[in-house]
Amino acid sequence: MLREIVLDTETTGTDAKGGDRLIEIGCVELINHIRTGKTFHRFVNPQRAVSEGAFAVHGLSDAFLSDKPLFADIVDAFLDFCGDARLVIHNAAFDVGFLNMEYARLKPSAPQPIALEEVVDTLTLARRRHPGAANNLDALCNRYGIDNTKRTKHGALLDAEILAEVYVELLGGKQTSLGLATVIADAVESDGMTSTVRGEDSVIASRTIRSRLTENESEHHTAFIGTLGENAIWRDYLGEKKAG
């Protein structure tokens, strides 16, 4: 079982080493690249002012954050949620830099810093797959047809939820979960054929394959088969017995 945590943060500014602080964390749990519905979300009092530039991005004001818990008060719950799961982050160096600076402030009981090389950076994945193209989160949503209409402002949990969808697409789309999913999908009834993919014991994906022939083409095809005669080998493939 592969457990991953898709993570996003919001901050007071862009300079973690210069004193900017983390103000929001959002996490989404994936098991074998499929969302489980489990999330982690906290706002944090940064004990410093939010810059005008950052406020324009996320809309989190000093007044709103003033009564929120300190990072020290939520870090244990955050670490418990993440456990030993692999982190998935867009532009990971930014978020990891802020998290590690927050960890360092917790001395002498600071958690181990996050090793950047152990994090899946979806920005790196996107640049490899789409070199030279825009690869911010909005651009990736547009490219993959992912609904981001609710993203009028940046928000850690919403962005983590969107990133979870983008991540699956970067891995090759939802077919990457075949053989991994445990969810049962019922076959769809239709006039066409139904193709069902099975895992070890359960149906894990199902889709309907509709005929691409027009009604006129189907009639011509039927007429053509009629010219082949009673003993045509073609009828074996139609499930018909030859005469004689």
Which residue positions form the known binding site?
Answer: 8, 10, 58, 159
Identify whether 220 is a catalytic site residue.
no
Residues placed in the known binding site for a divalent metal cation: 8, 10, 159
Q: Which residues belong to the annotated binding site for substrate?
A: 8, 10, 58, 159
Tell me how far CA of residue 81 lies from CA of 51, 72, 141, 212, 234, in angstroms. 29, 15, 27, 48, 60
Other Cβ atoms closer than 10 A to 78: 19
Q: Which of 123, 134, 65 is nearest to 94 (CA)?
A: 123
| Of 90, 154, 220, 221, catalytic | 154
Torsion sign over Cα 114, 165, 91, 18: negative
> Interhelix angle for 137-144 vs 156-170, to 10°?
50
Question: Whole-angstrom Cα distance, residue 81 to residue 68?
Answer: 19
Active centre residues (catalytic): 154
